[in-house]
């Protein structure tokens, strides 16, 4: 069983963030505050269509800051997109980046920044602490409540040739400023709302049971679980309610502060593997895998999982030890199904023949290092099989 030393040295990285209604309109002012004379605006087609990229452009116009728009970012941002964005940045002689969107444009923007400052290919940064020079100033405006890329030290980029996702983890990837406004969340469709919300719940749960968790990350992780469990169903049923969207954004922020500093676990390692090999949506993969991974991990840190159960409204103390794990995994499964996520991995197109390859890739993902239980290849395959 995992035993934590509370006195062990820990470090924490958090960006400056401004949170509340109207934050979106501050992009120009903050770009000017950090001395930018020209910026690359990184976004994607969906965010542009919803009108949020235009809002940020207006803010930059008002502040008198010229910009170049780069919106060729796909869900699961790719190596080629990062390298092209870096060329656009250089050709337009930008001095900083404003990223507007979900995790994909923000991760792509992080990649563009470090490629430019280090003059290296994006694939060379894979792993932990492989970035020497920080990128140029980065201002993030998230339009989803899930990835927390706007506060995290993580960037996940898809290597199309290798059909895998690489994780880049470095303090240099923490954005300079995050402008968190709940308004853009009101245009997320149901699928995006629940997928990103379940991603945030997975961040919080994995951070809370991570080998690298600490008192500071515990505080954020627990509050994130509480908020996601109470607010996400409301966001699902009343998508335009700004107060509810605010609470999911706060939950996602707390989850981001927790996992950025405690890292993640097997659900994310396995989800990255699925995203890389089969180009599947990150949040949906986590939503499907989470209860199965929790079931496997429970015995490593039962007290921690019982605390999660209490936060989700269960009463594990009234159950015999053998029933507690089942009650928690059932509650997580029921929660996702209540949000309309009743798919299996098979429904997403995963075949039994894919599992050995998926497991091999998940085993070497950096997120696996902080999973509370050491998993062997065979066990990872078993978890995938249970979610098929």
Q: Which is nearer to Fe ion, 42 or 264 (CB)?
A: 264
382: Cβ–Cβ under 8 A, 6 or more apart, which residues? none
Q: Which is nearer to Fe ion, 199 or 307 (CB)?
A: 199
Q: What is the nearest approach in angstroms of Fe ion to the Cβ of residue 375?
A: 18
Q: What is the nearest approach in angstroms of Fe ion to the Cβ of residue 152?
A: 9
Measuring CA to CA, which residue among 59, 55, 57, 24 is closest to residue 40?
A: 57
**Site mask, Fe ion, residues 120-159, x = CB under 5 A?**
----------------------------------------
* Among the residue ranges 124-132, 197-205, 343-351, 367-375, the one whose residues contact Fe ion (CB under 5 A): 197-205
Asked if residue 199 binds Fe ion (CB under 5 A), the reply is: yes
* Alpha carbon distance 252, 265 (integer Å): 17
Asked if residue 107 binds Fe ion (CB under 5 A), the reply is: no
Q: Which is nearer to Fe ion, 118 or 286 (CB)?
A: 286
> What is the DSSP code (8-state) at residue 78?
B
Q: Which is nearer to Fe ion, 65 or 280 (CB)?
A: 280
Given a contact cutoff of 8 angstroms between Cβ atoms, the answer to whether 377 and 362 are in contact is no
Q: What is the nearest approach in angstroms of Fe ion to the Cβ of residue 305?
A: 19
* Among the residue ranges 127-135, 179-187, 194-202, 290-298, the one whose residues contact Fe ion (CB under 5 A): 194-202
* Among the residue ranges 79-87, 186-194, 196-204, 364-372, the one whose residues contact Fe ion (CB under 5 A): 196-204
Q: Which of residues 310-349 bind Fe ion (CB under 5 A)?
A: none
Q: Which is nearer to Fe ion, 181 or 199 (CB)?
A: 199
Q: What is the nearest approach in angstroms of Fe ion to the Cβ of residue 286?
A: 6
Q: Which is nearer to Fe ion, 97 or 198 (CB)?
A: 198
**Phi, psi dihedrals of residue 190, rounded to the nearest 5°:** -60, -45
> What is the DSSP code (8-state) at residue 120?
S
Q: Which is nearer to Fe ion, 85 or 281 (CB)?
A: 281
Say which residue the tokens 């996602």 belong to: 252
Q: Give the DSSP letter string of 310-363.
A: HHTT--GGGS-HHHHHHHHHHHHHHHHHHTT----TGGGT--GGGHHHHHHHHH
Q: Which is nearer to Fe ion, 150 or 199 (CB)?
A: 199
Contacts with Fe ion by CB under 5 A: the residue count is 1
Dig out the tokens for 377 from the structure. Answer: 């290849």
* Alpha carbon distance 145, 192 (integer Å): 9
* Among the residue ranges 43-51, 80-88, 193-201, 347-355, the one whose residues contact Fe ion (CB under 5 A): 193-201
Measuring CA to CA, which residue among 205, 249, 255, 257 is closest to residue 231?
A: 249
* Alpha carbon distance 326, 274 (integer Å): 25
Q: What is the nearest approach in angstroms of Fe ion to the Cβ of residue 198?
A: 9
> CA quadruple 54, 38, 80, 102: dihedral positive or negative?
negative
**By the criterion CB under 5 A, which residues form the site for Fe ion?**
199
């Amino acid at each position: 069983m995992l035993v934590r030393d509370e006195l062990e040295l820990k470090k924490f990285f958090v960006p400056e963030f401004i949170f509340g209604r109207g934050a979106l309109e501050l992009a120009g002012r903050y770009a000017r505050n950090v001395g930018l004379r020209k910026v690359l605006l990184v976004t994607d087609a969906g965010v542009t269509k919803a009108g949020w990229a235009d809002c940020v452009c207006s803010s930059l116009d008002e502040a008198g800051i010229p910009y170049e728009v780069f919106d060729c970012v796909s869900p699961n941002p790719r190596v080629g997109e990062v390298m092209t964005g870096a060329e656009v940045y250089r050709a337009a002689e930008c001095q900083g980046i404003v990223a507007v969107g979900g995790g994909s444009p923000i991760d792509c923007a992080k990649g563009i920044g470090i490629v430019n400052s280090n003059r290296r290919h994006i694939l060379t940064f894979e792993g932990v602490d492989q970035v020497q020079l920080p990128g140029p100033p980065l201002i993030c405006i998230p339009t989803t409540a899930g990835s927390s890329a706007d506060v995290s030290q993580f960037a996940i980029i898809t290597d199309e040739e290798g059909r895998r996702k690489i994780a880049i983890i470095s303090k240099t990837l923490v954005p300079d400023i995050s402008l968190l406004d709940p308004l853009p969340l009101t245009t997320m469709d149901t699928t995006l709302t629940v997928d990103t919300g379940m991603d945030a719940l997975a961040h919080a749960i994995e951070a809370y049971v991570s080998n690298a968790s600490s008192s500071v990350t515990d505080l954020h992780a627990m509050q994130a679980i509480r908020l996601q469990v109470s607010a996400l169903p409301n966001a699902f049923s009343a998508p335009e309610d700004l107060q509810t969207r605010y609470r999911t954004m706060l939950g996602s922020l707390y989850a981001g502060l927790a996992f950025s500093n405690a890292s993640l676990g097997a659900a994310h390692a396995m989800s990255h593997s699925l995203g890389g090999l089969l180009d599947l949506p990150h949040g949906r993969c986590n939503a499907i895998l989470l209860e199965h991974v929790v079931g496997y991990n429970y015995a490593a840190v039962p007290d921690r999982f019982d605390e999660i159960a209490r936060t989700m409204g269960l009463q594990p103390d009234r159950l015999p030890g053998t029933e507690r794990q089942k009650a928690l995994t059932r509650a997580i499964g029921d929660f996702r199904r209540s949000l309309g996520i009743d798919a299996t991995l098979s429904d997403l197109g995963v075949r039994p023949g894919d599992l050995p390859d998926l497991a091999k890739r998940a085993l070497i993902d950096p997120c696996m290092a902080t999973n509370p239980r050491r998993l062997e290849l065979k066990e990872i395959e078993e978890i995938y099989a249970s979610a098929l």
